[in-house]
């Protein structure tokens, strides 16, 4: 009975999350020029003992996906009423589904997200992915394949002088050295040559918008 009540509470949380974020504060948007809605009801109380996120599955994943679609459509109506160009897309992750969100931008920030996600060398059609049911359920959407990557700033390692004890630095350095052996790409910006961001692929994501 306790498990059933727990699920019922989760279904209610998802419903309340959708209701709360369907409508956008347009005054706030005009000020910030961008806004987003993350899956705030997940995974706040669903963390495993190893501190790894337990990704939504089954009914929870389906309801959250429906919620993202509903939030997107409601916000699209609001943005259409502004009578000017805008960016509005669903970022739908496959493996790290809990990172999915609805993102929008206007005016000076309208191109802000164009380079956020790297394009794969060989794009994968969503119909051939692990979430192939999505285009069947929502045929009004178009989906663009992107890479889901985790960005790590290797400059954060710093130097031994940044640590209280040398052993702390050596332990941190060991972690960065281990990470650097994994397949990744370096983020290059000629205007900031000293940056050392490296992107590690975690899965795939699709940028969705209504045709």
184 is written with which tokens? Answer: 């990744």
Give a yes or no: residue 106 inside a domain: yes
pLDDT at res. 102:
97
Helix count (H) and strand count (E) of the chain? 5, 6
The answer to the question of residue 184 being in a domain is: no
User: pLDDT (tens digit, 9 = 90+) per residue, 167-211?
Assistant: 999 999 999 999 999 988 887 776 677 888 898 999 999 999 998
pLDDT digits (tens, 9 = 90+) for 5-53: 456 788 888 999 999 999 999 999 999 999 999 998 755 444 343 456 7
3-state DSSP call for residue 160? helix
Query: Which structural domain range is residue 44 located in?
Result: 2-116
* pLDDT given at position 47: 38
Asked whether the bond before 43 is cis by omega within 30 degrees of 0, the reply is: yes
Say if 180 falls within a structural domain.
Answer: no
Which residues are 186's β-sheet partners? 198
Q: 189 in a domain, yes or no?
A: no
Whether 210 is covered by a domain: the verdict is no
Let me know if residue 128 belongs to a domain. no
Residue 125 lies in a domain: no
Residue 6 included in any domain: yes
Please count the structural domains in the chain. Answer: 1
């Amino acid at each position: 009975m306790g498990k059933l009540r727990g699920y019922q509470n989760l279904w209610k949380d998802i419903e309340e999350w959708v209701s709360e974020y369907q409508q956008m504060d347009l005054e706030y948007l005009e000020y910030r020029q961008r806004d987003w809605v993350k899956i705030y009801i997940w995974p706040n109380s669903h963390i495993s003992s190893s501190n790894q996120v337990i990704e939504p599955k089954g009914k929870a994943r389906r309801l959250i996906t429906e919620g993202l679609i509903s939030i997107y459509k409601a916000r699209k109506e609001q943005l259409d009423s502004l009578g000017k160009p805008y960016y509005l897309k669903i970022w739908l992750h496959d493996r790290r589904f809990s990172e999915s969100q609805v993102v929008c931008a206007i005016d000076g920030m309208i191109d802000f997200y164009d380079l956020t996600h790297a394009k794969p060398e060989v794009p994968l059609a969503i119909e051939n992915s692990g979430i192939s049911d999505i285009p069947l359920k929502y045929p009004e959407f178009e989906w663009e394949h992107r890479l889901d990557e985790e960005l790590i700033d290797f400059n954060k390692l710093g130097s031994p002088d940044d640590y209280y004890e040398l052993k702390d630095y050596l332990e941190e350095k060991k972690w960065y050295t281990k990470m650097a052996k994994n397949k990744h790409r370096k983020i290059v910006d000629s205007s900031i040559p000293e940056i050392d961001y490296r992107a590690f692929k975690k899965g795939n994501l699709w940028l969705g918008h209504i045709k």
